[in-house]
Amino acid sequence: MGDPIPEGHGRKGRPPHIATLENRRKVIVLAAFDKNEEQIAAALSITPPTLRKHYFRELRGKLEARHRVEGKLLVALMNEVDKGNVSAIDKVFKRFDRHDLALGNVVRPVKQGKSPKKGKKETAVEQAHSAHEGTPWGGLLKH
């Protein structure tokens, strides 16, 4: 009859924090995005000491966390490429270009400047000088 009595009813303080798989993933992702311990703890609604107590492995290496997240994203992207997703294919090519540029491995073709656009008179003069080419009169007009 009535509402059930919650576990820990009558005790003082907050209930103990339980580290879940979902919270561990949140810590890894937030660490990968270079969030500090205070920000990560606030996202989980716990204190920084509680964060360090329960998630010390996840906080150990921010660079490692970034590589983990990036690896998962790349695997997901390649799965979309395998399905034929054109947008994913484009993103993979752009990613390769950025990577190659960062390493300095890519030789980009030098764009040649466009020749200035000619006016009507210049075009007419040019055509007049080559009017004899490809016609039976060509031999006579050339001299």
Tell me the pLDDT tens digit for each residue of 33-57.
889 999 999 999 999 999 999 998 8
- Cβ distance 73 to 95 under 8 Å? no
pLDDT at residue number 65: 83
- Global pTM value: 0.51
| Nearest to 43, CA basis, from 26, 57, 28, 31 | 26
Whole-number Å distance between alpha carbons of 115 and 130 = 20
Q: State mean pLDDT over 64-78.
A: 88
Q: Which two tokens stand for residue 6?
A: 């919650």
Tokens 């509680």 correspond to what residue?
A: 50
Burial class of residue 59 in the structure, from the number of CB atoms within 10 Å of its CB (0-12 exposed, 13-18 middle, 19+ buried): middle
pLDDT at residue number 49: 94
